[in-house]
Copies of this chain bind each other. A is one copy, B any other.
Amino acid sequence: MTRPASAPGPSADLPPLDDAELAALRRVGRHWARTVADEPRASLPVEPGLHGYPDEVTPGRFNRVVSVQNGGATRAGEEVRDDAPPRRARMLRILLGPPLRSTALASEKIRKLVALPVLSADALSSVAYGPEAMVAVLVLAGSAGLGVSLPIAGAIAFLMLATGVSYRQTIRAYPNGGGSYIVATDNLGRRLGLTAAAGLLTDYVLTVAVSVSSGVSAVTSAVPSLGPAAVPIGAGVIAVLLAGNLRGVRQAGSIFAAPTYAFIAAMAALIAVGLVQAAGRGFHPTPHPPIAAAEGVGLLLVLRAFASGSTAMTGIEAISNAVPAFQPPGWRNARTTLTVMVGILIVLFAGTVVLVHIDGVVPRGGETVLSQLAHQTFGGGPLYALTQAATAAVLLLAANTAFNDFPRVLSLMARDRQAPRMFLRMGDRLAFSNGIAILAVAAGAILVGFNGQTSSLIPLYAVGVFLAFALSQTGMVVHWRRHRGPHWRRSMIFNGTGAVLSSIVFVIAGVTKFTAGAWVSILVVVLVVVGGSRIRRHYAIVHRALALHPAGGPTARVTETEESPETIRHLVVVPVRTIDLASMRALAYADSLGQPVLAVHISATQEEADRFVDYWRAWGDHLPLEVVVSPYRALVAPLVHYIEALHSQRGDLTLTVVLPEVVVRRPWHRILHGRTESRLRRALKPLRKVVVTTVPVHLPD
């Protein structure tokens, strides 16, 4: 539902040809016709339509292919194969559900009251870890440090406001969805767009890791006996998210609305009751437990606390991505929703920090700050349990949001040929399966690698988020300067403010947290940018190399005759290892093609070579044979060498190497048979004009 229109559709497999390409195609075709016109066309032994396909087939639980109705009766003695896929495929199918048609892509529009919880789970849930991350830094300077928490929180609240106003401009300018990657690419160019995408990708991986670890902390705070199992629980949660998203979970509004509203209600109650209780005490702060100050209140400490606390605003950009999902007028509804969300976010964030200050709560192992607040305010009763449950649920939903967004960014990158093509296609459940799997693996690895500690993950988090924010908002500044629509000056100022502030936070987070983990995120960003550029270059080379080139054109150095059949001259080479049915089948297949055939035998000893020649003569010497003696017992290398020699002697020939392959029925039988066939195939791959043909020999049951 949050899939914007700018995401690629289910298929981009057959790119349309432009006029030049069509002309080249026609020309290639004319050349083909000229050269093969004098040959008699072999008549087709089958009717390719197979008596027609059924028009409409409902996918069942186990079939995802259009079944072919067979016009004729099954031939006697013919093996009848049933349509049930092998067991592994069937297990997968039960887990993931039946395939979905491309037309099943949801295009439903959502109301604001549903959009708010759906799209703000990520941002609002950040309140569960942001304030704690900030206080955890300040506590290093003892009471003096905790004293500056209110001013820092004020700065972060202002940042939230500025970013919110800035994204309001983006929504107006990109009513079809303005993700950071699209806005940055549009306005700042490919390379900075790639940088924004890299920031987003690290952001989403860390959203999953941080939300899950923080959600698990919410649970273990309430049930401390689960504490030691936190990492396995977190990994399990990621596995469930993976399975759910591979199934293609639609973000049904009602499912998402409940926990988010419950979280908002619980937090609001917590803050309200907490403030009333504090008012009863005349707002005298409860003294916090004595803390040994490890360092003074310096600028560096304040900046680090600021960077940590600003993770409370991750996810604020979600609404600007999803404008097309709103009921019309989309951009107006989206802006209203964004405003409400930012308002709630600021209230919850500020309220939490004030309450932490008044209640004298400090971070400690085993229980989250939010849980401590709830304990102090509600006691240990059902209200406390509700708060913890709502917190865990909204964090789970936040993680799930990333499972929608990460593969979408990857597929946009793949559409622009800056990511591997495998991220482009949707699986048969209409989900981007490969991207989902990569996200789950990366987030799981980080979660386990950092031992499920939210506090260790925070330093990695802010960098990617604010890099993407900064580039997106800088892109908007360029956009307004170029397009100069209504109110463009005001919008540019708002976006400019957002861009400057985000850049400052990015620099602060990158510098102050560099050694604590930010270097990991920066390294990943650099790798994605460099990798994306190299992938793009590779695809460009492939595209040029595989393009049809008009005859006589500048690229016609590659002889055009390779695309038409008449000039291909064949030699079929059959490596024969021993005299058995498999070799005989390969020889018979090779000979039946009607092209010249040469059999080659590799022997370890001269004696064995002589024996083989005797057998060959006993058979009748029907085909030319060459025997090579390899005194080092190697099989593959001398054969490849011989074929290379053949090729260098007669470069005009296309060599077809026919290999028999024994097909076993059970996977474990494979280790009982040599890997000669696959090793030979790999060794022959780099040779030009060497075609490899595998003739299967099936074993009986």
Q: Are A65 and B693 in contact (CB under 8 A)?
A: no
A44 touches B585 (CB 8 A): no
Is there contact, CB below 8 Å, between A592 and B566?
Answer: yes
* B-side contacts of A79, CB under 8 Å: 688
| A486: B residues at CB distance < 8 A | none
- Once the chains bind, are A422 and B49 in contact (CB under 8 Å)? no
Contacts A70-B648, A425-B633 given: A541-B591 contact, CB under 8 Å? Answer: no
Count the copies.
2
Do the beta carbons of B578 and A15 come within 8 Å of each other?
yes
Additional 6 contacts, C-beta under 8 A, given A70-B645, A688-B698: A13-B603, A421-B673, A538-B669, A542-B673, A686-B698, A691-B696
Contact assessment for A562 and B588 in the assembled complex, using a CB-CB cutoff below 8 Å: yes
Known contacts: A45-B596, A78-B651. The answer to whether A581 contacts B50 by CB under 8 A is no
Q: Give the chain B neighbours of A421 by CB distance below 8 A.
A: 672-674
Interface residues on A, range: 35 or more
Q: Which 4 A-B pairs have the closest CB atoms?
A: A29-B620, A11-B604, A68-B645, A565-B592
Q: B685 and A696: CB pair below 8 A?
A: yes
**Distance of A33 Cα from B619 Cα, bound (Å):** 10
A72-105 residues at the B interface, CB under 8 angstroms: 72, 74-75, 78-79, 81, 99-103
Does A262 belong to the interface (CB within 8 Å)? Answer: no
Indicate if the CB atoms of A65 and B641 lie closer than 8 Å.
yes
Tell me whether A428 is interfacial, beta carbon within 8 Å.
yes
For chain A residues 591-645, which have a beta carbon within 8 Å of chain B? 591-598, 600, 603-605, 608, 611-612, 615, 618-620, 622, 624-626, 628-634, 637-638, 640-642, 644-645
In contact, A633 and B44 (Cβ under 8 angstroms): no
- A654 part of interface (Cβ distance < 8 Å): yes
A548 within 8 A of B: yes
- Would you give the 0/1 interface string for A652-692, flagging 1 where the beta carbon is closer than 8 Å to chain B? 01101000011100000101111000000100011110111
Task: Tell whether A243 is near chain B: CB-to-CB under 8 Å.
Answer: no
Q: Is the CB of A656 within 8 A of B622?
A: no
Given A14-B611, A581-B546, A694-B691, do A633 and B66 touch, yes or no (CB 8 Å)? no
A253 interface residue, CB < 8 Å from B? no
Q: A65 is contacted by which of B426, B630, B650 (Cβ under 8 Å)?
A: B630
Is A36 close to B, CB under 8 A? yes
A539 in the interface (beta carbon within 8 A):
yes
The one of B11, B26, B645 that contacts A50, using a Cβ cutoff of 8 Å: B645
Interface residue from B13, B42, B563, B671 paired with A608 (Cβ < 8 Å) = B13
Interface residue stretch chosen among A329-337, A387-395, A496-504, A569-577: A569-577
